[in-house]
């Protein structure tokens, strides 16, 4: 809504009955209610969304970062209805949505992948041979999964056959697709991803990395750029690999190529996200670019051939969730009786909330993104601590106190941590 307003493009918000008072609705020129709170009745209901687009004469749909943002069928229906889906076309989404296909595509493009099976597992003996060759532990991943859903680690051959059968059954239940493949299990990795941007004319650039290693149960909590764990040479190689990945599928728009970084500094392709991501603001701050504006401009056919972006300083994002970190991060919906957001130099808050807004219980618990930008990582951490102190939320529990404590730990300050930091139980609020 904000990017469109600056571009002189009028906007229509679609919303469920639960989101009538959300800021995205207030920032839009028009709003259409598309149904009751449950996703299947509103935000996942393709006919209702297309009807809203048709009655308001919309030229394009921006899919955001949840719900249908990576749904190839939705992108296809938009296109066949004469509405531009702001993002890559259905074929690219499908290619990257099937993780085994994505892996094969990356191998063909010369992008490093984790050693593993050459395709889906069809036979137990062949799987045993693959596992012996790459060495235990291995990880079984569902091809239709992503974001960690349905993965299993196997430590020796004795468990393998049973683990594959279980994984296949679970994958069938969860995704309607029983396909699984095997990779070597990388221990204590970091999650480092590269932002890419492609236009419709074959140009692809990258906008550096984001380190998203601070996660809890596959939910990112803090993201930063640059990564404290890579040096210039790795950064250059990872950037080149990400550009090769996007170019290989003739990508369009903003995308993210996720890598696992191992203890030795080797990196491997994990997944490609064919949408704008929650954590995109850290890249925006470091590269002085509005990525949503770039999505809209590239969707409209603009070239990026003459564009250049240069990084400056360090940016960090803390996700402020309506959750109680003292009780297992359980959801904490309700009224934001006080909602005082921080400001001042180098501080940004992206939120759909405001004082008196009621956080509905039906959706993701993210209520605000707090982003800081500074010259160095140390200054960015101090600025974030200052901003977290200014942030006052009364009425619900949030992750603010958790962030305050986490940012003061030696592990975070030194930059020496891996994806197990929060889940290993060594760090808690209480």
The whole-angstrom separation of Cα 197 and Cα 116 is 29
Q: Calculate the CA 19 to chain-centre distance.
A: 22
Give the interface segment with ligand MV4, choosing from 79-87, 160-168, 177-185, 196-204 (CB under 6 A): 177-185
Of the residues 43, 74, 185, 363, which one makes contact with ligand MV4 according to CB under 6 A: 185
Using the rule CB under 6 A, is 260 a contact of ligand MV4? Answer: yes
Q: Shortest distance, CB of residue 154 to ligand MV4, whole angstroms?
A: 12
Q: Shortest distance, CB of residue 184 to ligand MV4, whole angstroms?
A: 6
Q: Shortest distance, CB of residue 52 to ligand MV4, whole angstroms?
A: 32
Per-position x/- string for 271-300, each x denoting binding to ligand MV4 as judged by CB under 6 A, each - no binding: x-----------------------------
Using the rule CB under 6 A, is 344 a contact of ligand MV4? Answer: no
Q: Shortest distance, CB of residue 131 to ligand MV4, whole angstroms?
A: 12
The whole-angstrom separation of Cα 339 and Cα 23 is 14
Give the residues across from 215 on adjacent strands: 220
Q: Retrieve residue 274's tokens.
A: 């064919």
Catalytic residue status for 275: yes
Of the residues 183, 252, 285, 294, which one makes contact with ligand MV4 according to CB under 6 A: 183
**CA nearest to 120, candidates 107, 111, 130, 135:** 130
Using the rule CB under 6 A, is 421 a contact of ligand MV4? Answer: no
Q: Retrieve residue 141's tokens.
A: 């991943």
Which residue, 271 or 279, has its beta carbon nearer to ligand MV4? 271
Of the residues 191, 210, 235, 275, which one makes contact with ligand MV4 according to CB under 6 A: 191
The whole-angstrom separation of Cα 202 and Cα 133 is 39
Helices (H), 123-275: 124-134, 157-175, 232-248
Give the H or E element holding residue 287: helix 280-287
Give the interface segment with ligand MV4, choosing from 27-35, 83-91, 168-176, 178-186 (CB under 6 A): 178-186
- Site size for ligand MV4 (CB under 6 A): 16
**CA nearest to 71, candidates 49, 54, 51:** 49
Cis peptide leading into 117, omega within 30 of 0?
Answer: no
Give the interface segment with ligand MV4, choosing from 63-71, 81-89, 184-192, 281-289 (CB under 6 A): 184-192
Sign (positive/negative) of CA torsion 236, 242, 245, 247?
negative
Phi, psi of 257 (to 5 degrees): -105, 115
Phi, psi of 370 (to 5 degrees): -105, 120
Using a 10 angstrom Cβ sphere, with 0-12 exposed, 13-18 middle and 19 or more buried, the burial of residue 308 is: exposed
SS3 call for 227: coil
Q: Shortest distance, CB of residue 313 to ligand MV4, whole angstroms?
A: 25
Which residue, 35 or 189, has its beta carbon nearer to ligand MV4? 189
Give the interface segment with ligand MV4, choosing from 172-180, 182-190, 306-314, 409-417 (CB under 6 A): 182-190
Site for ligand MV4 in 211-230 (CB under 6 A): 215, 218
Per-position x/- string for 109-148, each x denoting binding to ligand MV4 as judged by CB under 6 A, each - no binding: -----x------------------------x-------xx
Q: Calculate the CA 56 to chain-centre distance.
A: 30
Helices 99-108 and 232-248 cross at an angle (nearest 10°) of 110
Of the residues 193, 292, 419, 421, which one makes contact with ligand MV4 according to CB under 6 A: 419
Using the rule CB under 6 A, is 270 a contact of ligand MV4? Answer: yes
The whole-angstrom separation of Cα 243 and Cα 265 is 19
Q: Shortest distance, CB of residue 133 to ligand MV4, whole angstroms?
A: 15
Report whether 24 contacts 15 (CB < 8 A).
yes
Q: Shortest distance, CB of residue 180 to ligand MV4, whole angstroms?
A: 13
Give the interface segment with ligand MV4, choosing from 88-96, 179-187, 278-286, 396-404 (CB under 6 A): 179-187
Q: Which of 275, 319, 348, 383 is catalytic?
A: 275
Which residue, 24 or 149, has its beta carbon nearer to ligand MV4? 149
Report whether 321 contacts 367 (CB < 8 A).
yes
SS3 call for 40: helix
Using the rule CB under 6 A, is 186 a contact of ligand MV4? Answer: yes
Q: Shortest distance, CB of residue 419 to ligand MV4, whole angstroms?
A: 3
Residue with tokens 């749904």: 71
Active-site residue list: 275
Binding site for ligand MV4 (CB under 6 A): 114, 139, 147-148, 183-186, 189, 191, 215, 218, 260, 270-271, 419
């Amino acid at each position: 809504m904000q990017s469109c307003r600056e571009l002189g493009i009028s906007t229509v918000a679609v919303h469920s009955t639960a989101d009538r008072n959300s800021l995205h609705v207030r920032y839009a020129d028009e709003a259409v209610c598309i149904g009751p709170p449950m996703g299947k009745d509103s935000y996942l209901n393709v006919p209702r969304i297309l009807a809203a687009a048709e009655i308001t004469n919309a030229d394009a749909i921006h899919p955001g970062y949840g719900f249908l943002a990576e749904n190839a069928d939705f992108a296809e229906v938009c296109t066949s209805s004469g509405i531009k889906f702001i993002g890559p076309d259905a074929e690219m989404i499908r290619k990257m949505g099937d993780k085994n296909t994505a892996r094969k595509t990356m191998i063909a493009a010369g992008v490093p992948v984790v050693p593993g099976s050459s395709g889906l597992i069809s036979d137990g003996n062949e799987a045993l041979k693959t596992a012996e060759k790459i060495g235990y532990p291995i990880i079984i991943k569902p091809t239709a999964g992503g974001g960690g859903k349905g993965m299993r680690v196997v430590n020796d051959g004795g468990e393998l056959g049973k683990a594959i059968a279980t994984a296949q059954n679970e994958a069938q239940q969860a995704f309607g697709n029983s396909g699984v493949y095997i990779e070597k299990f990388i221990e204590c990795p970091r999650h480092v991803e590269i932002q890419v941007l492609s236009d419709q004319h074959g140009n692809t650039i990258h906008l550096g990395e984001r380190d998203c290693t601070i996660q809890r149960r596959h939910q990112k909590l803090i993201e930063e750029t640059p990564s404290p764990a890579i040096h210039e040479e790795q950064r250059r190689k990872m950037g080149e690999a990400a550009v090769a990945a996007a170019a290989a599928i003739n990508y369009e728009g903003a995308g993210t190529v996720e890598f696992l970084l191992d203890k030795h500094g080797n990196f491997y392709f994990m997944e490609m996200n064919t949408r704008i991501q929650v954590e995109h603001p850290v890249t925006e701050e470091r590269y002085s670019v509005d990525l949503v504006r770039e999505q809209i401009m590239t969707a409209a056919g603009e070239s990026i051939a003459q564009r250049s972006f240069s990084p400056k300083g360090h940016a960090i994002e803390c996700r402020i969730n309506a959750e109680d970190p003292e009780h297992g991060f359980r959801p904490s919906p309700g009224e934001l009786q006080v909602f005082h957001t921080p400001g001042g130099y180098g501080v940004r808050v992206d939120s759909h909330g405001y004082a008196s807004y009621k956080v509905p219980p039906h959706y993701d618990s993210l209520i605000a993104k707090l982003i800081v930008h500074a010259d160095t990582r140390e200054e960015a951490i101090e600025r974030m601590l200052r901003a977290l102190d200014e942030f006052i939320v009364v009425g619900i529990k949030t992750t603010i106190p958790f962030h305050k404590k986490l940012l003061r730990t030696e592990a975070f300050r030194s930059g020496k941590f891996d994806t197990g930091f929060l889940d290993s139980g060594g760090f808690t609020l209480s």
